[in-house]
Structure 1
Protein backbone atom coordinates (compact mmCIF):
# COMPACT_ATOMS: atom_id res chain seq x y z
CA UNK A 1 0.00 0.00 0.00
CA UNK A 2 1.46 3.41 -0.97
CA UNK A 3 0.68 6.52 0.92
CA UNK A 4 -0.26 9.60 -1.07
CA UNK A 5 2.07 12.57 -0.76
CA UNK A 6 5.19 10.49 -0.20
CA UNK A 7 8.33 10.88 -2.32
CA UNK A 8 9.18 13.41 -4.93
CA UNK A 9 6.42 14.58 -7.29
CA UNK A 10 6.63 13.46 -10.91
CA UNK A 11 8.38 15.83 -13.27
CA UNK A 12 6.09 17.40 -15.89
CA UNK A 13 7.89 19.03 -18.84
CA UNK A 14 6.68 22.48 -19.89
CA UNK A 15 7.30 24.44 -23.08
CA UNK A 16 9.65 26.65 -21.09
CA UNK A 17 11.78 23.74 -19.82
CA UNK A 18 11.78 22.11 -23.28
CA UNK A 19 13.11 25.32 -24.85
CA UNK A 20 15.67 25.73 -22.07
CA UNK A 21 16.96 22.16 -22.45
CA UNK A 22 17.16 22.49 -26.25
CA UNK A 23 19.08 25.77 -26.02
CA UNK A 24 21.51 24.58 -23.36
CA UNK A 25 22.12 21.33 -25.21
CA UNK A 26 22.86 23.32 -28.37
CA UNK A 27 25.40 25.42 -26.47
CA UNK A 28 27.20 22.24 -25.41
CA UNK A 29 26.30 22.37 -21.71
CA UNK A 30 26.74 18.88 -20.16
CA UNK A 31 23.55 16.96 -19.34
CA UNK A 32 24.39 16.80 -15.63
CA UNK A 33 24.48 20.60 -15.48
CA UNK A 34 21.29 20.99 -17.52
CA UNK A 35 19.52 18.55 -15.16
CA UNK A 36 20.73 20.55 -12.17
CA UNK A 37 19.37 23.80 -13.67
CA UNK A 38 16.00 22.19 -14.39
CA UNK A 39 15.99 20.61 -10.92
CA UNK A 40 15.82 16.95 -11.95
CA UNK A 41 18.04 13.88 -12.09
CA UNK A 42 20.08 13.37 -15.29
CA UNK A 43 18.16 10.13 -15.97
CA UNK A 44 14.87 12.05 -15.73
CA UNK A 45 16.30 14.67 -18.09
CA UNK A 46 17.17 12.02 -20.69
CA UNK A 47 13.77 10.35 -20.26
CA UNK A 48 11.63 13.48 -20.69
CA UNK A 49 13.87 15.59 -22.95
CA UNK A 50 15.63 13.14 -25.29
CA UNK A 51 14.34 14.95 -28.41
CA UNK A 52 15.31 18.39 -27.11
CA UNK A 53 18.81 17.19 -26.20
CA UNK A 54 19.36 15.76 -29.69
CA UNK A 55 17.64 18.57 -31.60
CA UNK A 56 19.46 21.31 -29.69
CA UNK A 57 22.81 19.95 -30.78
CA UNK A 58 21.66 19.41 -34.38
CA UNK A 59 20.15 22.89 -34.69
CA UNK A 60 23.24 24.58 -33.23
CA UNK A 61 25.56 22.70 -35.58
CA UNK A 62 23.36 23.58 -38.56
CA UNK A 63 23.35 27.26 -37.58
CA UNK A 64 27.14 27.38 -37.26
CA UNK A 65 27.57 25.49 -40.55
CA UNK A 66 25.22 27.95 -42.28
CA UNK A 67 27.20 30.90 -40.92
CA UNK A 68 30.52 29.29 -41.94
CA UNK A 69 29.19 28.59 -45.43
CA UNK A 70 27.99 32.20 -45.76
CA UNK A 71 31.43 33.45 -44.66
CA UNK A 72 33.21 31.04 -47.02
CA UNK A 73 31.32 32.50 -49.99
CA UNK A 74 32.52 36.06 -49.31
CA UNK A 75 35.59 37.41 -51.14
CA UNK A 76 37.39 38.50 -47.95
CA UNK A 77 40.32 37.23 -45.92
CA UNK A 78 37.86 35.73 -43.42
CA UNK A 79 35.98 34.16 -46.31
CA UNK A 80 39.16 32.56 -47.58
CA UNK A 81 39.93 31.12 -44.14
CA UNK A 82 36.36 29.83 -43.81
CA UNK A 83 36.49 28.30 -47.31
CA UNK A 84 39.78 26.53 -46.59
CA UNK A 85 38.41 25.19 -43.30
CA UNK A 86 35.19 24.05 -44.99
CA UNK A 87 37.06 22.25 -47.76
CA UNK A 88 39.45 20.54 -45.35
CA UNK A 89 36.65 19.34 -43.09
CA UNK A 90 33.85 18.67 -45.58
CA UNK A 91 35.71 17.85 -48.80
CA UNK A 92 38.72 16.08 -47.31
CA UNK A 93 41.27 18.54 -48.71
CA UNK A 94 44.70 18.48 -47.11
CA UNK A 95 48.05 20.08 -47.84
CA UNK A 96 49.55 16.80 -46.64
CA UNK A 97 47.69 14.62 -49.13
CA UNK A 98 49.99 12.83 -51.56
CA UNK A 99 50.27 14.45 -54.96
CA UNK A 100 48.54 12.63 -57.78
CA UNK A 101 51.02 11.14 -60.19
CA UNK A 102 49.70 10.34 -63.63
CA UNK A 103 50.69 6.95 -64.86
CA UNK A 104 52.68 6.99 -68.08
CA UNK A 105 50.70 6.25 -71.22
CA UNK A 106 51.19 3.02 -73.10
CA UNK A 107 52.47 3.03 -76.70
CA UNK A 108 49.00 2.99 -78.25
CA UNK A 109 47.59 5.71 -75.99
CA UNK A 110 50.64 7.94 -76.58
CA UNK A 111 50.38 7.46 -80.36
CA UNK A 112 46.66 8.31 -80.29
CA UNK A 113 47.30 11.43 -78.19
CA UNK A 114 50.10 12.51 -80.53
CA UNK A 115 47.89 11.96 -83.59
CA UNK A 116 45.10 14.10 -82.12
CA UNK A 117 47.44 16.97 -81.23
CA UNK A 118 49.90 16.72 -84.14
CA UNK A 119 48.65 19.86 -85.86
CA UNK A 120 48.37 22.04 -82.78
CA UNK A 121 50.11 25.38 -83.26
CA UNK A 122 50.63 24.94 -87.00
CA UNK A 123 48.87 26.13 -90.11
CA UNK A 124 47.73 22.56 -90.75
CA UNK A 125 46.16 22.43 -87.34
CA UNK A 126 43.99 25.46 -88.09
CA UNK A 127 42.89 23.90 -91.39
CA UNK A 128 41.99 20.54 -89.88
CA UNK A 129 40.17 21.91 -86.86
Structure 2
Protein backbone atom coordinates (compact mmCIF):
# COMPACT_ATOMS: atom_id res chain seq x y z
CA UNK A 1 0.00 0.00 0.00
CA UNK A 2 1.53 3.36 -0.99
CA UNK A 3 2.34 5.85 1.75
CA UNK A 4 0.04 8.87 1.69
CA UNK A 5 1.88 12.16 1.98
CA UNK A 6 0.44 15.57 2.44
CA UNK A 7 1.29 18.00 -0.37
CA UNK A 8 3.75 20.75 0.58
CA UNK A 9 2.25 23.93 1.97
CA UNK A 10 1.67 26.69 -0.58
CA UNK A 11 1.65 30.17 1.01
CA UNK A 12 -0.97 32.54 -0.37
CA UNK A 13 -1.25 36.32 -0.14
CA UNK A 14 -4.31 35.84 2.07
CA UNK A 15 -2.41 33.53 4.45
CA UNK A 16 0.48 36.01 4.59
CA UNK A 17 -1.98 38.73 5.65
CA UNK A 18 -3.48 36.45 8.29
CA UNK A 19 -0.04 35.61 9.69
CA UNK A 20 1.03 39.25 9.71
CA UNK A 21 -2.16 40.37 11.46
CA UNK A 22 -1.92 37.70 14.15
CA UNK A 23 1.82 38.20 14.68
CA UNK A 24 1.29 41.96 14.93
CA UNK A 25 -1.21 41.63 17.77
CA UNK A 26 0.93 39.04 19.55
CA UNK A 27 -0.93 35.81 18.82
CA UNK A 28 1.35 32.86 19.75
CA UNK A 29 2.83 31.05 16.76
CA UNK A 30 1.19 27.78 17.78
CA UNK A 31 -2.22 29.47 17.55
CA UNK A 32 -1.43 31.09 14.19
CA UNK A 33 -0.40 27.69 12.84
CA UNK A 34 -3.66 26.20 14.13
CA UNK A 35 -5.66 28.93 12.35
CA UNK A 36 -3.92 28.02 9.08
CA UNK A 37 -4.13 24.28 9.72
CA UNK A 38 -0.36 23.78 9.55
CA UNK A 39 2.42 22.73 11.90
CA UNK A 40 4.27 25.53 13.77
CA UNK A 41 7.50 24.46 12.02
CA UNK A 42 5.79 24.92 8.65
CA UNK A 43 4.58 28.35 9.77
CA UNK A 44 8.12 29.41 10.66
CA UNK A 45 9.52 27.94 7.43
CA UNK A 46 7.16 29.72 5.02
CA UNK A 47 6.23 32.87 6.95
CA UNK A 48 9.53 33.84 8.62
CA UNK A 49 9.49 37.43 7.29
CA UNK A 50 5.91 38.07 8.38
CA UNK A 51 6.66 36.73 11.87
CA UNK A 52 9.91 38.69 12.25
CA UNK A 53 8.70 42.01 10.85
CA UNK A 54 5.22 42.14 12.39
CA UNK A 55 6.40 43.27 15.82
CA UNK A 56 8.71 45.93 14.39
CA UNK A 57 5.94 47.27 12.15
CA UNK A 58 3.47 47.36 15.04
CA UNK A 59 5.96 49.17 17.28
CA UNK A 60 6.62 51.70 14.52
CA UNK A 61 2.91 52.33 14.00
CA UNK A 62 2.12 52.74 17.69
CA UNK A 63 5.32 54.70 18.29
CA UNK A 64 4.40 57.05 15.46
CA UNK A 65 0.92 57.58 16.87
CA UNK A 66 2.36 58.25 20.34
CA UNK A 67 4.91 60.65 18.88
CA UNK A 68 2.19 62.55 17.02
CA UNK A 69 0.07 62.79 20.19
CA UNK A 70 3.08 64.10 22.11
CA UNK A 71 3.82 66.66 19.37
CA UNK A 72 0.17 67.66 19.45
CA UNK A 73 0.38 68.61 23.12
CA UNK A 74 -0.91 65.46 24.87
CA UNK A 75 0.81 65.83 28.24
CA UNK A 76 0.51 62.15 29.19
CA UNK A 77 2.07 61.14 25.87
CA UNK A 78 4.87 63.67 26.38
CA UNK A 79 5.63 62.39 29.87
CA UNK A 80 5.54 58.76 28.74
CA UNK A 81 7.87 59.54 25.84
CA UNK A 82 10.35 61.37 28.07
CA UNK A 83 10.36 58.60 30.67
CA UNK A 84 10.84 55.78 28.18
CA UNK A 85 13.02 57.50 25.59
CA UNK A 86 14.85 60.31 27.37
CA UNK A 87 15.54 58.65 30.71
CA UNK A 88 13.33 60.87 32.83
CA UNK A 89 12.44 59.41 36.22
CA UNK A 90 10.15 60.39 39.00
CA UNK A 91 11.90 60.74 42.31
CA UNK A 92 9.98 60.63 45.55
CA UNK A 93 11.58 62.06 48.65
CA UNK A 94 10.19 61.55 52.11
CA UNK A 95 11.06 63.85 54.98
CA UNK A 96 10.66 61.80 58.12
CA UNK A 97 11.62 64.64 60.43
CA UNK A 98 8.84 65.94 62.66
CA UNK A 99 8.38 69.69 63.02
CA UNK A 100 9.81 69.72 66.57
CA UNK A 101 12.58 67.23 65.78
CA UNK A 102 11.29 64.67 68.27
CA UNK A 103 10.64 62.05 65.60
CA UNK A 104 13.84 62.58 63.66
CA UNK A 105 15.40 59.34 62.50
CA UNK A 106 18.57 58.50 64.38
CA UNK A 107 21.28 56.20 63.10
CA UNK A 108 21.30 52.76 64.66
CA UNK A 109 24.40 50.66 65.08
CA UNK A 110 24.08 46.91 65.32
CA UNK A 111 27.02 44.96 66.65
CA UNK A 112 27.09 41.29 65.78
CA UNK A 113 28.76 39.12 68.38
CA UNK A 114 29.55 35.50 67.73
CA UNK A 115 30.90 32.88 70.07
CA UNK A 116 34.56 32.20 69.46
CA UNK A 117 35.17 29.08 67.41
CA UNK A 118 37.74 26.83 69.03
CA UNK A 119 40.87 26.45 66.97
CA UNK A 120 41.48 22.73 66.70
CA UNK A 121 45.15 22.75 65.78
CA UNK A 122 46.04 20.14 68.36
CA UNK A 123 48.08 17.31 67.02
CA UNK A 124 47.88 14.03 68.88
Which 4+ residue blocks in structure 1 deviate beyond 3 angstroms? none
The CA distance in 2 between the partners of 1:42 and 1:32, in whole Å, is 6
Q: Which residue of the other structure, out of 75, 87, 94, is the alignment partner of 1:92?
A: 87
Aligned residue-pair number: 92
Shift of 1:5: 6.8
What pairs with 1:1-129 in structure 2 (closer than 5 Å)?
6-75=4-73, 79-96=74-91
The CA distance in 2 between the partners of 1:44 and 1:28, in whole Å, is 18
The CA distance in 2 between the partners of 1:55 and 1:96, in whole Å, is 37
Distance 1:6 1:94, change over 3 A: same
**Which of the two has greater helix per residue?**
1
Structure 2 gaps, min length 5: 93-124
Distance 1:9 1:70, change over 3 A: same
Structure 1 gaps, min length 5: 98-129
Q: Please provide the CA RMSD for this pair.
A: 1.8
The CA distance in 1 between the partners of 2:75 and 2:69, in whole Å, is 8
TM-score normalized by the length of structure 2: 0.69
TM-score normalized by the length of structure 1: 0.66
